[in-house]
Chains A and B, each alone.
Chain A
Amino acid sequence: MLQLVADGLVVGSVIALGAVGLTLTYSILRFANFGQGEFMTWGAYFAVSTLAFVLAVTGGGVMEPLGPFSFGWQLIVAMLLAAALTAILALVVDWLLFRRLRRGNAITLVIASFGAALALRNLVQFLYGTLPEYYSREIQIAIRLVPRDVMGGLRVTPDQMLVIGLTLVLMLALQWLLTRTTLGRAMRATAMNPALARVAGVDVEGVIRATWVIGAALAAIAGVFVGITLQIRPMLGFDLLLPLFAAAILGGIGSVRGAVVGGYIVGLAESLSVPLVGAEYRAATAFAVLIGILLLRPNGLFGARA
C-alpha cells in the first residue's frame, strides 16, 4: 500500500510537470495541444544526445555517480541543455505551424497539433530507433524507509526522491514566477483577456513565446525524469498524454496549482488501481478520472469560470 503511494507520487510528479505546461498553453494559446507529450519524449532523447556530448567534452566519457544517485553532474547539465533545445523545438513548431493558424478556428490548431505530434513522434523513432535507452546503467539500491510489516513497507531509490523533490521546487518556482513577476502577471492577464492585455501594453506574441518556452522546458525535464526512473522510449510522451489531459482538466484549465494537484491525483489513482485492475489497464484509470470529472465537475477542482 505505502509502496503504491510512493510509486504514484513519482509518476504523479512527471504528470504534474507535463500537465502544467499543457494547462499554460491551453489557457494562453487557447487550444488543447496534443503535441505536449512529444515535448517530453524529445526532452528525454535530447538529453541522451547532450549527455553524450557533455561526457565527450569533459573527457573520459564515463559518468561518475553523484553521491547516492545513479547519475553524475553531467546529466544535470545535459538535462538543462535538453530543456533549452526542447524549448527551441517548441518555438520552431509554433513559428512554422501554429502561428499561421492562430487567427482561424481553435479546433484547427488542435488538428494541427495532432499532426505535429505524430510527425514529431515518428521523427524520434527515425533518428533514435525504437530500442529503449538509459542515461545510466548503475544499479541503485533502494532505501527501506518503512519496514515490511507496516502497511507492506516502503522502499524508495534516491533517484525517485530527487524527482519528487525537484518537481516540488520547480512548481514553487513557477508559482513565484506567475504571481510575483511582470511576465507571470502578463501571462495570467493574457489568459484572462488577450484583447485587454494588448491594450494594457502586453506584447501577446512575446507572452506566447514565453509560454512555449516554459511549457516545453518543464515537459523536457519531466521526460528526463521518466528516463532516470524508468527508461526512454519513443512512445514515452504519447503514453502520458491521456494522464496529462486528465490532470489538466481535473485541476481546471489554466490553473497551475490545479494541474499539480491533478497530476498527483492521477498518478496516485493509476498506481493504486494496479492491484484492482492489473498493471496492463493502469492507463485506463486516467480515462476513468477524465470521464468522472467531465460528468461531475467539468470546470475542474480549481476552475472557477464556466
Chain B
Amino acid sequence: MTAALEMAAIEGGYEPGLPILRGASLSVAPGEIVALLGPNGAGKSTLVKAAAGLVPVWSGRVMLGGRDITGLAAHRMVHEGLGFVPQTENVFANLSVLENLQLASALVARKRRLDLGRMFELFPDLDRQRKLEAGRLSGGQRQMLAVARALVASPSVLMLDEPSAGLSPKLVGVVFERLKAVRDTGVTILLVEQNVKAALAIADRAVVLVEGRERLEGPAAELVNDPRMAALYLGAAA
C-alpha cells in the first residue's frame, strides 16, 4: 500500500554548509497518527518544515500519496493536500476567526474546500467567536483555529508542530481528543511533540529523531516503556 506521506533520506537546513537534517526518513500510512519525537535540536520541526516547503531540501524525496512533491513552493503544498500547522503564530491575528477560515477555504480549488459549517460543528468554541479577531482568542482556541484553518483545505495529511506547546495539561487533552476526531474523518496525522507522554497516548506509531536522523521507531504502545527511548533523550542531553 502507498504511504500517505513518505520522506526518504532528507538532507537540508537553513544555511548551506550547516545541515540540520542528515538523511532523515519516515513513512506515515493512511489513517495513522504518527508522533515525531526526539530531544531538543534533533531537527523534528525542521523536518516537517522541509516537507511543507519552508526549509530547503538539499537531497532526498518527499512523496505525498505516491506523488513526488519535493521542493514545491510552500503554497503549492496546500493544493497537493499537505496541511501544516506551525508551532507559534499559527493564526492570522489581524483577521477574524471567520476570515481566517474563509481565506484558507477560498485559496484551494472548489472540490477541495470543506464546508465551513461542518468545521464549526467540529470546533463549537470557534462558532461562538466567529467575528472575534484571532489575536484575541485564548491559547487553546487559537490552537483549534490553527487546526481548523489547515483542515478547511481538506488535506490528506496534516502535520502539526508541537500543538501542545504553551497549553495547560487539561487543554492538551482537549486538543489531542479533537485531533483523534480529525483522524476519524480520514485525515492522516504527523505530530511533532516535545510532550512524549501525551503524544504516545494518541499516536499509533512513533519515530524518534536524533541529530537529523531517525534512530528508533515502533508502535506507540511499545515505545512507552522502551528503555532505549530514555537513553536516546539522555544521550542527547549529555
Is B a genuine binding partner of A? Answer: yes
Q: Which residues does A use to contact B, with CB under 8 Å?
A: 182, 185-186, 188-189, 191-193, 195-204
Question: A188 to B94, Cβ gap below 8 A?
Answer: yes
Are A182 and B92 in contact (CB-based, < 8 A)? no
Q: Which of B78, B93, B106 is the one whose CB lies under 8 Å from A199?
A: B78
Instruction: Provide the main secondary structure of the chain A interface.
Output: helix
Asked whether B102 lies within 8 Å of A204 as measured between CB atoms, the reply is: no
Q: How many chain B residues touch the partner (CB < 8 A)?
A: 28
The 7 closest A-B pairs by CB, nearest first: A201-B78, A198-B74, A201-B107, A182-B106, A185-B103, A189-B92, A192-B94
**Interface check B131, CB cutoff 8 A:** no
A139 to chain B, nearest CB (A): 49
B107 touches A186 (CB 8 A): yes
Complex: chain B residue closest to A195, CB-CB: B54
- Chain B contacts for A191, CB-based, 8 A: 94
CB <8 Å contact, A195 and B86:
yes
| Residues of B bordering A, CB below 8 Å | 52-54, 73-75, 77-79, 84, 86, 89-95, 99, 102-104, 106-108, 149-150, 153
Q: How far is the CA of A193 from the CA of B94 in the complex (A)?
A: 10
Contact B104 A200 (CB under 8 A): yes
Are B79 and A201 neighbours in the complex by a CB distance under 8 Å?
yes
Q: Other CB < 8 Å A-B pairs besides A193-B92, A198-B53, A198-B74, 17 of them?
A: A182-B102, A185-B102, A189-B95, A192-B93, A195-B74, A196-B90, A196-B91, A196-B92, A198-B73, A198-B75, A199-B54, A199-B75, A199-B84, A200-B107, A201-B75, A201-B79, A201-B104
- How many inter-chain residue pairs (CB < 8 Å) link A and B? 69
Q: In whole Å, how far is B42's beta carbon from the nearest beta carbon of chain A?
A: 21
A204 contact from B75, B92, B108, Cβ within 8 A: B75
**Which of A197, A198, A200 has its CB near the most chain B CB atoms (within 10 A)?**
A200
Q: Give the complex CA separation of A204 and B52 in angstroms.
A: 15
CB contacts (< 8 Å) of A197 on chain B: these are: 75, 92
Task: State the Cβ distance, B151 to closest chain A Cβ, in Å.
Answer: 12
Which B residues are in CB contact (< 8 Å) with A195?
A: 54, 74, 86
